[in-house]
Structure 1
Amino acid sequence: MVQRCAWVHDDSLEQQYHDTKWCRPKHDDQQLFMWLILEIMQAGLSWVTILHKQMAMQTAFDQFDYRLIAHYDENKIAELMQNAQIIRNRRKLTAMVNNAQVFLRVQQQFGSFDHYLWGLVDNQVQQNSWSTTTQVPAKSPLSERIAIQFKQLGFQFVGPTIIYSYLQAVGVINDHQQNCAFR
């Protein structure tokens, strides 16, 4: 039996996410935007819910193309609010549009979002060494600092807990437990 982090259950999508995506460094701007949106959508919900709705959201959100999402208008938001396959939270959907616009500005200013984000950590993965899931914090000084910077740039729905999860999702933070085969 493969040893995984204790938070992983029997759900195959959750196992696949843990084994192949979680805490793996990502540098593609499209992927960095997608994971930001998924983490925002997850606020107040279980991660497994997001994983099960990810494909529907990918379709509904134009493959998470931030260039298209930046131009969503109220009609598009109203259309999305009718889609029972996705997370239908107006605040999250409008934050997604705003964040796509900010994402584009960050790209213009820094050359890429990847360059900006990884520059905040000197292009180094933060390697944590937890023995149990209960040791993993919900936020950290790093996520608090980045959340403040994101908010200053104009991003919405980016508190330190969401940002901590985001940093795990895109591999800036590696929180695989010490006994995890995927560490």
Structure 2
Amino acid sequence: MVVPLAADTVRELLGPLYPEPAELIVGALSFGLLCWVLLRWVLPPVAHIAEIRELVIEGEFASAAQTRADADGVRQERDRVLADARSEARQIRGYAAALAYAERDRVLAGAVVERDRLLAEGGERLLREYEAVRRELLDVHVPRIAAELASRVLGEAVATPARSPGVAAAPVQVPAQKTESESADVH
């Protein structure tokens, strides 16, 4: 239960904080006048500035969204260009590898031809040298060695037959064999 308080009791309780009715009316009128001045001249420019700021922020959001979309487009273009460059690089590497293999095959084929040519020339040269050495042996050394051997077997000097180079050797006539007693006397 609330007990109503008398005005004097309220005045005593609040002491110096108790408002006088005239001060209360003047304060209320002053507050109303201040609110009217603020609503009439101060608040409209502030509201206008707030609206402008809101429009600027919305424009910045739209610009940021457009910039983000542009950046996404640029990123997609970059990814496409990089993919194209990678594809082209793969093609170039494949083409270079094919050229390298073709050049290697060409060089190997040339080397095989050169090897075969050198082997053929070397074989021919070896055959010519063999024939030259064979002729020299048959023309010079074999008759001399045969004459030396015949001289030892016969015990007397045998002349080396004279031959012109390149002429086939005449068959050497081997003298009849001596008996063992004649051979024993020679040694």
- Interval containing the TM-score (normalised by the shorter chain): under 0.3
Q: Bigger radius of gyration, 1 or 2?
A: 2
Greater per-residue helix proportion: 2
Q: When the two structures are superposed, what TM-score results if normalisation uses the length of structure 1?
A: 0.18
Bigger relative contact order (CA 8 A; separation at least 6) = 1
